[in-house]
Amino acid sequence: MPTTAKKLVSALALGTLATAAGCGGATAASDEDVELRMTVWTSNEDHLALFDSIADAYIADHAEIKSITFESLPFEEYNTTLTTQIAGGNAPDLAWMGDLSADLIDSGALVPLTETLEGTEGWGYEDLLPSVTGEFSRDGELYAYPFSNSPFALYVNTDLLGEAGQTLDPAGLTWDQVSALGSAVNAATGKGGFVVNDFNYSSWNTLATVWTAFGASAWNEDGTECGFDSPEMAEAFTFLHQAIYTDKSMPGPGTTADFFAGDAAFAVAQVSRAGNLDGSFAYDIQPLPAGPVGEYSVIGQAGMGVLQSSAHVEAATGFLAYLTNPENAAKLAQYFPPPRQSLLTGEALAANNTKFTAEQLQTVVVDQVAGAVTLPNHTNPAEIAQKAKTALDAMWTEDADVAAVLGTVCDAIDPLLAE
């Protein structure tokens, strides 16, 4: 027995030593041995190949950079995974960001970029459209490069309209007309009228693509006052409620109607979703329909920034400046509507877009970006989203009191807006 015990003690000790040696084997990265990592939510091979090619070109000119990797995280879990990495002390050097940007900027987690970008020869800071930098700026300082600025547009299944004996007159198209056409399609074919992509009676922020037509907004400009209890918002939700339960022009909760599978006549979706059109039906694309306040446009944005926690802030910022310089920004514009005025032309976008003509892209992208509003964004986005969703769930019943439900949304999120 003592012999066995000695053997076991020795094995354990050896194991412990080996583990300790393994842990102690790592050495801190030096300035000559820089490894950069950027988290992204795309897993598209073409996107990643483009990023890799730009990174390879940068590494070739910068001996101190050993590697640059792009880590694909699932879109649905992106914010959770990124924040978990940050909390666990494993933050990336650079990161894509969507609605997490406000939290990152306000907590000081991002590196200011303006000075670096303005100081980079040939970068052309003045080429950035003011309408797309606001969401990623504080007090005139840019914290993330808005590499993707994709307007929401109205996709039309013209086959389905034809099947229902309907035609679309794009001149002066309004939400009421879209609802009437959707209602006719539903009555004639049993398929959906119009859908707001990604809404799914959960992601209510996507309804900004509708309520903006009524002059409503989720909160005021500085994000301190709730806008759900405004008359404009009540009008917008009354329109949606009637579309669902009275006109049957919008599929109700719990009903699946995928526009890209041919199950709905209209879809509000970003232009970047055009890749889902597989040619199984004839389609058209139009700017968002007008509402009581007239014409308007909404964009969904994504930015890329440098984390303050990076061990190589200078190297990461330098790479970001290279990745977004005019030459590389033109390459990125193949896939993401760019923030640079010089790259925003219908012809330029059509060069890499087989789904739409230059004229269509001019109308639904280029003409929309400059005056667009963004989807609602605020610090603490997940908690605001959950609290508002919990209150808004009561809206999706046939006998809902629209104004009362909207009041409860404000009750739920007011404390968070006040923080």
Partner 1 sequence: MGRADAATGYLFIAPQLLGVLVFVVFPVGLAVWYSLNEWNIFTGDMAFVGAGNYQAALEDPQLPSVLGATAVFSGGVVVLNLVLGLALAVMLNRRFRGSVLFRTLFFSPVVVSVVAWTLVWGFLLQDNGGLNGALAAVGVDGPNWLQSGPTAMIAVTFTQVVRSVGINMVLFLAALQGVPGELYEAARLDGAGSRTIFFRVTLPLISPTLLLTAIITIVGALQSFAQIAVLTEGGPGLSTTVLVYYVFQQAFSFNDIGYGSTLALMLLTFVMVLTVIQWQLRRKWVFYED
Q: Which of 314, 389, 403, 414 binds partner 1 (CB under 8 A)?
A: 389
The CA angle 378-380-40, to the nearest 5 degrees, is: 85
Indicate whether 261 belongs to the interface with partner 1 (CB under 8 A).
no
Q: Which of 43, 90, 202, 357 binds partner 1 (CB under 8 A)?
A: 202
Q: What does the buried/exposed string (b/e) look like for 24-35 if buried means 16 or more CB atoms within 10 Å of the residue's CB?
A: eeeeeeeeeebe
Q: Which of 256, 342, 352, 357 binds partner 1 (CB under 8 A)?
A: 256
CB of 53 or CB of 107, closer to partner 1? 107
Phi-psi region of 172 (alpha: psi -120 to 50; beta: other; left: phi over 0): left
Q: Which of 21, 87, 140, 419 binds partner 1 (CB under 8 A)?
A: 87
Those residues with Cβ within 8 angstroms of residue 126's Cβ, 6 or more apart along the chain or in another chain = none
Residue 195 Cα distances to 133, 208, 259, 303, angstroms: 29, 13, 7, 27
Q: By CB under 8 A, which span of 150-158, 289-297, 360-368, 377-385 interacts with partner 1? A: 377-385
Tokens encoding 132: 């797309």
Beta strands 145-157 and 34-40, pairing class: unpaired
d(CA 180, CA 182): 5
Indicate whether 281 belongs to the interface with partner 1 (CB under 8 A).
no
Indicate whether 107 belongs to the interface with partner 1 (CB under 8 A).
yes
Residue 273 φ then ψ, to 5°: -85, 0
CB of 214 or CB of 228, closer to partner 1? 228
CB of 45 to partner 1, least distance (A): 25
Give counts: helices (H), strands (E), the chain: 17, 11
CB atoms under 10 Å from CB of 100, counted, come to 21
Per-residue string for binding with partner 1, 6-45, x by CB under 8 A? --xx--x---------------------------------
Indicate whether 83 belongs to the interface with partner 1 (CB under 8 A).
yes
CB of 281 or CB of 396, closer to partner 1? 396
CB of 103 or CB of 232, closer to partner 1? 103
CB of 295 or CB of 411, closer to partner 1? 411
Q: What is the DSSP letter of 352?
A: T
CB of 22 to partner 1, least distance (A): 16
d(CA 143, CA 381): 18
| Chain residues that interact with partner 1, rule: CB under 8 A | 1-2, 4-5, 8-9, 12, 79-80, 83-84, 86-87, 89, 103-104, 107-109, 201-202, 252-256, 309, 380, 382-383, 386, 389-391, 393-394, 396-397
